[in-house]
Amino acid sequence: MRKMRWALLIAVVMAFPLGCGHPTTMVALTVTPTTAGVVGVGVGGQVQFKATGQFVNPSKIVDVTNQVAWSSLVTQVVTVNQQGLATSGESCGVSVITATASEPLIGNVGVGAIVAATASFTVANPSDPSCPQTIPTS
């Protein structure tokens, strides 16, 4: 009887591996660095951002930099390509960089569901008093 219980337990575990049949789902998204920037307007300075997704079923942390959609709120300050590479523009100031994940990357959690994370990018110009003077640190 005891052997039969163990055999049944092993059969159940093998039938529902890693997550008991639940779909893999992204539960968090992180962008690093959280604060970045360059000194000087029009210098074309670049910073590489990275997006990391935290998933469950099974539990894992994955680099999703090339699978998310990247955007910049103020494109005159900074643009960002779809690999997360930010390039400073022709204006000083601060912009929000956003990484957005949607289905199928985040899993089947509902129509229109997204997971997003942000960072800030500063273009400083110490010679212009109307611009940020330094780049904030995280």
% residues pLDDT > 70 (the chain): 78
Is residue 115 in a domain? Answer: yes
Q: Per-residue pLDDT tens for 92-127?
A: 999 999 999 887 776 766 655 678 999 999 999 999
CATH number of 111's domain: 2.60.40.10
9: CB partners within 8 A, 6+ apart: none
Count how many domains the chain has.
1
With a cut of 50, say whether residue 5 has pLDDT above it: no
> Does the residue 133 lie in any domain?
no
Q: What percent of the chain has pLDDT over 90?
A: 59
User: Helices (DSSP H) in 17-76: which residue ranges?
Assistant: 17-20
Per the structure, the complete domain to which residue 90 belongs is given by 19-124
| Residue 113 located in a structural domain | yes
**C-beta of residue 31 within 8 angstroms of C-beta of residue 51:** yes
Mean pLDDT computed over every residue of the chain: 83
- Residue partners of 119: CB distance under 8 A and separation at least 6: 31, 32, 33, 34, 35, 36, 49, 96, 97
Residues contacting 68, CB < 8 A, separation 6+: 29, 51, 84, 99, 100, 101, 105
